[in-house]
Amino acid sequence: MDAADSDLNDRIDAAHSLKYRHYPSITPSMLVPDVRATTIKLIPRDG
């Protein structure tokens, strides 16, 4: 695992906001720093 970069988090937030735009009461809670901090990047193991 590796931490996701800020640009990736911004793109994920934008995609999430677009996908769930019909649920305006839920979307903001998914875009807060604590939730963004849980985004990870999976890196395959060698061999």
Would you list the domain boundaries of the chain? 2-41
Could you tell me if 16 and 30 are in contact, meaning their C-beta atoms sit under 8 angstroms apart? yes
Would you state the pLDDT for residue 3?
A: 66
- Rounded CA separation 13/7 (Å): 10
Burial profile 24-33: b = 16 or more Cβ within 10 angstroms, e = fewer: eeebeeeeee
pTM across the whole model: 0.65
| Amino acid identity, position 24 | P
DSSP run (H or E) holding 30: none
Would you state the pLDDT for residue 44?
A: 86
Q: What is the pLDDT of residues 1-46, one digit of tens each?
A: 566 678 888 998 999 899 999 988 888 888 888 888 888 777 888 8
